[in-house]
Amino acid sequence: SAVISQKPSRDICQRGTSLTIQCQVDSQVTMMFWYRQQPGQSLTLIATANQGSEATYESGFVIDKFPISRPNLTFSTLTVSNMSPEDSSIYLCSVGHREAFFGQGTRLTVV
């Protein structure tokens, strides 16, 4: 198993600003995954973050809106840029080759 720490756990942000979410894993992993869970909805994959290369984004998500960094094998950040109320969601990072493990999530509210 893997232990994943996310920061912050929650935040309330003004529209038009940006928030960077950090994800720290207790072991080295090749891929890290970022998901979004909108209110009352299930999880949707935003992008896959590989160390040493650009992140791969899923349909409907773009790098300008959700830039991702992956500086080493245990850490990644997701930035939510130029936020609007529609970005209010829980953002989660995940790791795992077979079994997926998730952090506790970041609950973002944009006002």
Partner 1 sequence: KQEVTQIPAALSVPEGENLVLNCSFTDSAIYNLQWFRQDPGKGLTSLLLIQSSQREQTSGRLNASLDKSSGRSTLYIAASQPGDSATYLCASDGIQGAQKLVFGQGTRLTINP
Query: How far is C-alpha 57 from the geometric centre of its chain's CA atoms?
Result: 12
- Nearer CB in complex with partner 1: 19/32: 32
Taking the C-alpha atoms of residue 82 and residue 14, their distance in angstroms, rounded to an integer, is 9
79, 67 in Cβ contact below 8 A? Answer: yes
60 lines the binding site for partner 1 (CB under 8 A) = no
* Minimum separation from the CB atom of position 49 to partner 1 (A): 12
- Nearer CB in complex with partner 1: 77/106: 106
- Nearer CB in complex with partner 1: 16/60: 60
Q: Could you tell me which residues are beta bridge partners of residue 10?
A: 107
Please name which of 87, 11, 7, 85 lies closest in space to residue 44, comparing C-alpha atoms: 87
Please name which of 35, 14, 22, 15 lies closest in space to residue 101, comparing C-alpha atoms: 35
- Nearer CB in complex with partner 1: 58/75: 58
* Minimum separation from the CB atom of position 16 to partner 1 (A): 25
Residues that bind partner 1 (CB under 8 A): 1, 6, 31, 33, 35, 41-45, 48, 58, 90, 92, 94, 96-105, 107
